[in-house]
Structure 1
Amino acid sequence: MLKHYVDDSEYFSYCGTRIAVLLNAKGEDMDYIQGISHECVVCKLNEKSEKLEMKHNEHKFSTLYILISSTTFYVIGLVLKFLLGIEGIITISLFAISYILVGFKIIKLAFKGLMVGDIFNENFLLTVATLGAFAIMEYPEAASVMLFYRIGEYLQDLALNRSRKSIKSLLKLKAEFANLKKNGEIIKVKPEEVKIGELILVRPGERIPLDGVIIDGQSVVDTSALTGESIPREVKPGDQVLSGMINLSGLLLVKVTKEFKESTVARILRLVEEASARKARVEQFITRFARYYTPVVVGLAALIAFLPPLFTGTLLTLWVYRALVLLVISCPCALILSIPLGYFGGLGKSAKEGILVKGSNFLDLIASLKIVAIDKTGTLTKGVFKVSEIIPENEFSREELLYYAALAELHSNHPIARAIREAYPGEIAKELVNEYVEIAGYGVKAKINSTLILVGNDRLLHKENIKHRVCDVVGGTIVHVVVDNVYAGYIVISDEIKEEATLAIRELKRLGVEKLLMLTGDSRHVAKTVAEKLGITEYYAELLPEDKVRLVEKLCLKNKGQVAFVGDGVNDAPVIARADIGIAMGALGSDAAIEVADIVIMDDDLLKLPRIIRIARKTRSIIFQNIILALTVKMFFLSLGIIGEATMWEALIADVGVALVTVLNAMRILK
């Protein structure tokens, strides 16, 4: 399974409310970023976010003030030199002041880089180029390079804020407090202080702080922050509610089922934070490329500066100027800034849609998706089972058949078992069940007093050598019941296909998915009926969990394209883990899905499958546009610089201009 876990904070790290892009190469203020711990324990996130936001605003305004002051001195210097013809110490001083105002930070960071052996970064290139320009008395060019570089950096930071906000909104999932009910009193405490089993009160308008079950009260909750679904959901006593939901109307008394560190919101925040550490292959290539590219260009600039004067006798200052232009052009910020930002935009856009992608490497994989295997029950169908027929045999009554089945399925959490229990009208006496064994892929075996009950599929009957007349029926799942080795009859369980399933399958085919398979543990009759309705030509029925794993493993080894498995995240964890891309549907509240899946779709909307493919392909397309644009412009101006046809002004366009264009292009992913 292709998964890359790369921890490189130099290029791209997300934590709290600040994206630190290229901490060293880009030259962010380390004092400003120092407050962020990549460990980022969720309970400290919101605590730090406000302080960091204040620091960020202070940083932004101080930078703006510096830029305005530097620009003022620079413009006055230009007017004196070129319009009034005044040169000398006054003009040089104006350019020097303008340069120092914007260049001090860059020079300081270049010096810090030298101290730790990080020589070939953008700060070093700019410092050498601009100080060299001062040395050969090209004062306006030296000041302009540093000034316009810092202006471009400021505009890039404004663009970054848009991307930052798309993910930062997830931080608001965490409630600031919980109303703990203790000894008849309501105490306001931090969510981290509440223990499992304690009761919390959630008032209208408040965000639910912890996962739990409603004990009292009815309300409507907004789940959009978790699922991307805008339609509110009604909840009542007995329903599960999750941290991050907003209580819209009634007063709710909730019994806590998970501590905060294991709650849904904590898992989501950890997942989003960790996603930035998993790099796409393009990002890893750019990282390696920058390590070799910059030293090569510096070496080339040194040769251009000193070899031609040595062999041709031409002016040293002429060739030094060309070399300095080359250094400015060679700054690789357009590549190493826009590419991680593009992937982050893709992750942010997905999160807004209620789709959590566990790393930019999975965006790359799903963009080239060719094979999709989909589980039937709960994924293509609603997974809401109802008893549609009860057919007794061998002198058993309908009531007896349902009674034995309900007792045998008492301890099972399978949706079919729940449907049988719900269909039984009377009370189920739990104490009657003496023994209970669940046989994976077959059914259950239970002892009720001294009576042996078997409830399961046709395979179970053949395994136990039970004589029976009917194996399968059309239009539903058949559950056979055996009492003391005598066939008692069968119960037909019906499930509905999701309304959007047909459209989702059609969209996947339109997006170029070459092979669509349906996998199910259900009978061949049911599988065939569902597959035909959805237009799926290839399906596999009566599969055990290990059969699904083997089948997906075979697909992964046999085919060149990426193989995705889409399941409901409850009983499909092994096969989700084995696929190239494991996708869990309806994973809200499912711990196994969030842990195992590579992509987590928080609700049951199948249309989010084609949506995430589109987001991934748009992300990839924009990133390749940026790579081609940056490399083409760089190479063009490098060629001009070597032959002496490019000045510092062209170098600025090649560096700051291209970086700004690629960043703005990357922001299109969020639209």
Structure 2
Amino acid sequence: MTKKQKKMLTRIIAAAVLLILLNFLPVTGIIRFVLFLIPYLIVGYDILKKAWKGILNRQVFDENFLMAVATVGAIAIAFYEKSGDFNEAVAVMLFYQIGELFQSYAVGKSRRNISELMDIRPDYANIEQDGSLEQVDPDEVEIGTVIIVQPGEKVPIDGVVVEGTSTLNTSALTGESVPREAKAGDEIISGCINLTGVLKIRTTKEFGESTVSKVLELVEESTSRKSRSENFISKFAKYYTPAVCYGALALAVLPPLVRMFAMGAAPQWNDWIYRALTFLVISCPCALVISIPLSFFAGIGGASHEGILVKGSNYLEALSKTKYVVFDKTGTLTQGIFEVVGVHHNQMEEKQLLEYAALAESASSHPISKSIQRAYGKELDRSRVSEIEEISGNGITAKVDGRSVAAGNVKLMDRLGIPYKSCHKVGTIIHMAIDGEYAGHIVISDVEKPTSKEAIAKLKQAGIQKTIMLTGDAKQVADQVAADLGIDEVHSELLPGDKVEQVERLLAEKPAKANLAFVGDGINDAPVLGRADIGIAMGAMGSDAAIEAADVVLMDDDPLKIVKAIRISKKCLGIVYQNIVFALAVKGACLILGALGIANMWLAIFADVGVMVLAILNAMRTLFVKKL
């Protein structure tokens, strides 16, 4: 609990103890009145102060005004009737403050889930100068600087490991509790905690553009974007509170006047004023005004804890209505890393074929060439290679150990007049020829993410009506991936502009109340992310432009997080609607009972504080996310 919450708890306990003790004292009259004012003022002086300030600022109608009028009125009636029963007024203020304390604690708990992310903000970066480490402000570190991260320290800036091995705790960013291994050559994102070894990292971004800064910026902005439900409740409360105040005034004045002038009976002012005061306590809109924003706030907090950054409650609400999910392929459903998935050879051994291919490709930085070099797995002796010639759109020819080697596509084989064998596998095919003879071919493919197929299946279980894949890849490759993953519709060989056209078409075809989400990671996906009803970016490896354009950012690039995000949003919206219906139904019934004189202040306390506490407890369920 915070210092302020502890102070409030002390006031509540003190007032409660005094209230109980005063009921055992045999005092009456003015002394009893003064004694009961002590616990009343201890627990409620700030409510009276806020109500008075509201009146002075001409912002009269709020819950503080309702509680002040209701409790002061109840005390006045008890004093006027000389009943000495001041328990109700003190109890109403006491239980109201209990509800406020509970609400403050609940908001604090959900806020802590989000503010835990703030702990990833690094305080310093280590730079080695003259044989010793110097701590500098991360903002002062330029791109290309080598920084040193020791065990237990946060990685302050994005970069590439140049020396050292270690394990990293990425849970604050990704929600994944399993540590990640890091070694020389690996890309590292800021915000991770170095657990074991010392790492030397060459920075690739300035601190202001690094992952940790982007994440903090998104979190800080997330609470400023309100959903339709929140805006509705705010407008509802704006008109509702004055309406019930005037309704209570009418209830206090009109029935007595009717009895007196129309019926010739005694007006019974005290009875009707008491009913009006009860009506005011019941009508306090705390349950709605507090629980609805809290539900969304807790939902954003629960999602953040799972490594899903939702930029605002409006996007959380829109996500719950998603029925169509459109995917980019490379880097979204696939790893975006090309790997050798097959080596088909004639007479030459597989290892030797790979060696010739790796040596021939050793001067190229193309992803295909790099994948062949990785598959070979040994250090390349560039002195064995000569006469390298790269033929654009065809492949490479070279001399390896004095032998002529050609590695490329079918165009290269046709160009050299070498008969080749076709391959039944889907992927990029690198045909190999040694000394003018066909030696075999290597199959290279972009590997599917291990959770992609499961994610598509669970999206359909979660109520997604249609999954679509848009890609610039060849039709054969795209169709194969779509078939493997169970995607309903696929469009291939698309340029970035073509993707926008496809999304425009899908938006026009879908039902009005169904939302379309687009999931992508690359800079060429930014226009589509912005055009879709909901843009979801793969954050850890995604481009800055994609993250900026998206409404939801997945910090660990796991497609299963899309399912989790949709489930969180649906749970959150379900709880919001439950609270609205429950609060309005209970308050409506109690208002009728209060107006008829059946409900007293104790029922009013339940209708206000009890309903608020139950609604807050229900809202807090959005903090807890079930495992998939």
- Correspondence for 2:479 among 522, 528, 533: 528
Partner-residue secondary structure (3-state), 2:467: strand
After TM superposition, give the deviation of residue 146 of structure 1 in Å: 0.9
Partner-residue secondary structure (3-state), 1:207: coil
For 2:97, the equivalent position in structure 1 comes to 150
Distance in 2, matches of 1:327 and 1:456, equals: 82
> Cα gap change, 1:250/1:403 in structure 2, threshold over 3 Å: closer, same or farther?
closer
Q: How does 1:81-92 map to 2 (within 5 A)?
A: 84=26, 86-92=27-33
**Is the 1:178–1:201 Cα contact (8 Å) retained in structure 2?**
yes
> Cα gap change, 1:567/1:220 in structure 2, threshold over 3 Å: closer, same or farther?
same
Q: Which moved more, 1:551-560 or 1:135-144?
A: 135-144
For 2:349, the equivalent position in structure 1 comes to none
After TM superposition, give the deviation of residue 436 of structure 1 in Å: 13
Q: Which moved more, 1:557-566 or 1:235-244?
A: 235-244
Distance in 1, matches of 2:358 and 2:532, equals: 39
- Correspondence for 1:508 among 453, 459, 469: 459
**Aligned: 1:203 with 2:150:** yes
Distance in 2, matches of 1:157 and 1:622, equals: 19
Q: Which moved more, 1:299-308 or 1:227-236?
A: 227-236
> Cα gap change, 1:334/1:569 in structure 2, threshold over 3 Å: closer, same or farther?
farther
After TM superposition, give the deviation of residue 497 of structure 1 in Å: 2.2
**Is the 2:278–2:601 Cα contact (8 Å) retained in structure 1?**
yes
AA aligned to 1:174 is R
For 1:563, the equivalent position in structure 2 comes to 516
**Aligned: 1:553 with 2:494:** no
Write the deviation string for residues 103-161 of structure 1: whole angstroms up to 9, x where unpaired: 11011111222233221111111111112222222632221211111122122223333
- Correspondence for 1:316 among 252, 269, 273: 269
**Is the 1:476–1:495 Cα contact (8 Å) retained in structure 2?**
no
Distance in 2, matches of 1:475 and 1:582, equals: 34
**Is the 1:181–1:198 Cα contact (8 Å) retained in structure 2?**
no
AA aligned to 2:248 is A
Write the deviation string for residues 413-445 of structure 1: whole angstroms up to 9, x where unpaired: xx55754786796769xxx999999xxxxx899
> Cα gap change, 1:189/1:398 in structure 2, threshold over 3 Å: closer, same or farther?
closer
Write the deviation string for residues 501-543 of structure 1: whole angstroms up to 9, x where unpaired: 2221111111111111122211111122222222223211111
**Aligned: 1:542 with 2:525:** no
For 1:63, the equivalent position in structure 2 comes to 8
Write the deviation string for residues 186-212 of structure 1: whole angstroms up to 9, x where unpaired: 123343343333332211122212222
Write the deviation string for residues 552-588 of structure 1: whole angstroms up to 9, x where unpaired: 1111122121111112345422222221111122534
Distance in 1, matches of 2:508 and 2:289, equals: 34
Q: Which runs of 5+ in 2 are unaligned?
A: 80-85, 261-266, 346-352, 397-406, 432-437
AA aligned to 1:513 is I
Partner-residue secondary structure (3-state), 1:513: coil
Q: How does 1:102-117 map to 2 (within 5 A)?
A: 102-117=43-58
> Cα gap change, 1:433/1:575 in structure 2, threshold over 3 Å: closer, same or farther?
farther
Q: How does 1:51-450 map to 2 (within 5 A)?
A: 57-80=2-25, 84=26, 86-137=27-78, 139-313=86-260, 314-387=267-340, 410=365, 415-416=367-368, 418-419=370-371
**Is the 2:357–2:372 Cα contact (8 Å) retained in structure 1?**
no
**Is the 1:283–1:340 Cα contact (8 Å) retained in structure 2?**
yes
Q: Which moved more, 1:625-634 or 1:231-240?
A: 231-240
AA aligned to 2:506 is L
**Is the 2:473–2:493 Cα contact (8 Å) retained in structure 1?**
yes
Write the deviation string for residues 229-286 of structure 1: whole angstroms up to 9, x where unpaired: 2222222222222221111111112223333222211211110111111111111111
Partner-residue secondary structure (3-state), 1:62: helix
Distance in 1, matches of 2:422 and 2:604, equals: 75
> Cα gap change, 1:529/1:469 in structure 2, threshold over 3 Å: closer, same or farther?
farther
Distance in 1, matches of 2:606 and 2:342, equals: 75
Distance in 1, matches of 2:206 and 2:336, equals: 29
- Correspondence for 2:445 among 482, 490, 494: 494
Distance in 1, matches of 2:194 and 2:124, equals: 14
For 2:435, the equivalent position in structure 1 comes to none
Partner-residue secondary structure (3-state), 2:235: helix
For 2:538, the equivalent position in structure 1 comes to 585
> Cα gap change, 1:649/1:370 in structure 2, threshold over 3 Å: closer, same or farther?
same
Distance in 1, matches of 2:332 and 2:51, equals: 54
Distance in 2, matches of 1:475 and 1:125, equals: 74
> Cα gap change, 1:213/1:644 in structure 2, threshold over 3 Å: closer, same or farther?
same
> Cα gap change, 1:353/1:457 in structure 2, threshold over 3 Å: closer, same or farther?
farther
> Cα gap change, 1:218/1:310 in structure 2, threshold over 3 Å: closer, same or farther?
same
Report the RMSD for the aligned CA atoms in angstroms: 3.6
For 1:476, the equivalent position in structure 2 comes to 426
> Cα gap change, 1:546/1:258 in structure 2, threshold over 3 Å: closer, same or farther?
same
**Aligned: 1:644 with 2:618:** no
Distance in 2, matches of 1:495 and 1:62, equals: 60
After TM superposition, give the deviation of residue 630 of structure 1 in Å: 0.6
**Is the 1:371–1:515 Cα contact (8 Å) retained in structure 2?**
yes
After TM superposition, give the deviation of residue 550 of structure 1 in Å: 0.8
AA aligned to 1:333 is C
Distance in 1, matches of 2:208 and 2:510, equals: 40
TM-score, normalised by the number of residues in structure 1 = 0.78
Distance in 1, matches of 2:388 and 2:36, equals: 90
Distance in 1, matches of 2:394 and 2:573, equals: 48
After TM superposition, give the deviation of residue 356 of structure 1 in Å: 1.0
Distance in 2, matches of 1:390 and 1:515, equals: 36
Distance in 1, matches of 2:572 and 2:443, equals: 46
**Is the 1:587–1:593 Cα contact (8 Å) retained in structure 2?**
no
AA aligned to 1:340 is P
AA aligned to 2:614 is V
After TM superposition, give the deviation of residue 637 of structure 1 in Å: 0.8
After TM superposition, give the deviation of residue 168 of structure 1 in Å: 2.1
After TM superposition, give the deviation of residue 176 of structure 1 in Å: 3.0
Distance in 1, matches of 2:394 and 2:94, equals: 75
AA aligned to 1:602 is M
Partner-residue secondary structure (3-state), 2:296: helix
**Is the 1:473–1:525 Cα contact (8 Å) retained in structure 2?**
no
- Correspondence for 2:468 among 500, 514, 517: 517
Partner-residue secondary structure (3-state), 1:90: helix
How many residues align structurally? 580
Write the deviation string for residues 278-316 of structure 1: whole angstroms up to 9, x where unpaired: 111111111111111111111111111111222212122
Distance in 1, matches of 2:271 and 2:226, equals: 43
Distance in 1, matches of 2:148 and 2:193, equals: 13
> Cα gap change, 1:433/1:570 in structure 2, threshold over 3 Å: closer, same or farther?
farther
Distance in 1, matches of 2:421 and 2:455, equals: 32
